Amino acid sequence: MTQTNPKIAFIGAGSVVFTQGLLADLFVFPELKGAHIALHDIDAERLATAHGAARQIADRLTGQGGGPRITAHAERKAALEGADFVINIVQVGMRESTRVDFDVPAGHGVRQTIGDTLGIGGIFRALRTFPLLKALGEDIAEVCPDAWLLNYTNPMAMNVQYLTQATGLTRVVGLCHSVYWTVRDLADLLGVPHEEVVYRAAGVNHQAWMLRLEHDGTDLYPRLDSLIARNPELRRRVRVDMYRRLGYYPTETSEHSAEYVPWYLHHDSEIERLRLPVGAYLGIVDENIAAYERTRDTLADGSALDVEGTMEYAPQLIHSVVTGTPRTIYGNVPNHGLIDNLPATGTVEVPCLVDALGVQPTRVGSLPAQCAALNRGYLGMNELVVRAALEDDPRSIRQAAMADPATAAALPVERIWDLCDDMVRAHADLLQPSLRTLLGH
């Protein structure tokens, strides 16, 4: 880019805690302290809270009376006008829809822990997000066609696939911190400085694999094997159990990982053995709301916010594109030959070089066969959900649920179709009209 004061639009800025962390990361970079931060949310109170928090963070990190320009917009297109970067952090339906995602499946005997990526929760979170993504994409094409759209909203892989196929946008990348924190956690566990670990991961979002993990030229996997063998408590983690059986460490938490396979949540003994917190995300949602309320109240009484940087990829990406500073991050992008043994139409998570030319994904080649087998099932289910929306086909919703490993492990097909009907009823107002049809079994 030629300018050093980019315009960065936050869509869903009312996700105040996450917005604060991103801003704290952005303002660490001197070259970004003059940026125009445009905040948008449909909730007026949350937008006002985000605006106040952003102004306080900017004043603290860039100096009173100077620094970035910060504007708040109730109308999305005004926030997007002329933007260089668009950060999407919208959660359609908020707590009420998330509770539906758990309560209705639970009534059918389907257990979930997070419910935001695959499974019934992931399917319907995607379907109620797609209309927003289509409208957002149309606005970007109209008022900021050269902007980079940086998506944080889950389900990541489905959303990126839908965005690229439904809108025609090409400057789209999904960002997630799971690879970064997996490396940090493994480094801490193994007692090596994380900044000295050499690693490579690839796969799909929340189910990528640590293909290379080294320190001082030495493979760290044998040290991890020894530690696991000596520590029975480590063996009571889903991701460790998967690593022991598949040979490559997965890049998302045990709570997430348990939902993407048929082996754990359907069995009481496995829930106990692996200490799986069924319904855990509902508590996280409640804590997020409490954190928002604390921020709102802190601003109202004039107190200082306690905000720390989050080491997220979006600020690093923006800095690299603006300044030409080369970095490697992990991005979620259309496959297009990056991983040979995964579907070309799917969204994959791979290392990406970022510099003044933008985001340049790295070709990985083939994944280990056992890892690719799981990822193909994940992407096949994603394909059906995206097809449901693109082709106005309600049957594809049911077929996606049938293809989902955890749902298929829990229910026979007639019950899966009944569950989908109940979910359509519960979320009908948020779905595109063509997908509100009830099909029975």
Q: Are 203 and 348 in contact (CB under 8 A)?
A: yes
Active site annotation includes 256: no
Residue with tokens 């949310």: 41
Helix (H) or strand (E) holding 347: strand 347-355
Return d(Cα 30, Cα 27) in angstroms, integer.
7
State the greatest distance between any 2 C-alpha atoms of the chain, in Å, as a whole number.
Answer: 63
Catalytic option among 108, 177, 194, 267: 177
Q: Are 424 and 125 in contact (CB under 8 A)?
A: no
- Residue partners of 383: CB distance under 8 A and separation at least 6: 161, 343, 345, 346
Using alpha carbons, select from 409, 387, 135 the residue that is nearest to residue 398: 387
Using alpha carbons, select from 441, 400, 405, 404 the residue that is nearest to residue 422: 441
- The packing angle between helices 369-390 and 238-246, to 10°, is 120
Return d(Cα 116, Cα 88) in angstroms, integer.
16
Return d(Cα 366, Cα 79) in angstroms, integer.
41
Helix (H) or strand (E) holding 71: strand 69-73
Full DSSP string of 318-331: HHHHHH---EEEEE
- Our separate counts of H helices and E strands in the chain read 17, 12
Q: Are 32 and 26 in contact (CB under 8 A)?
A: yes
Amino acid in position 166 = A
Return d(Cα 254, Cα 240) in angstroms, integer.
8
Residues classed as catalytic: 177
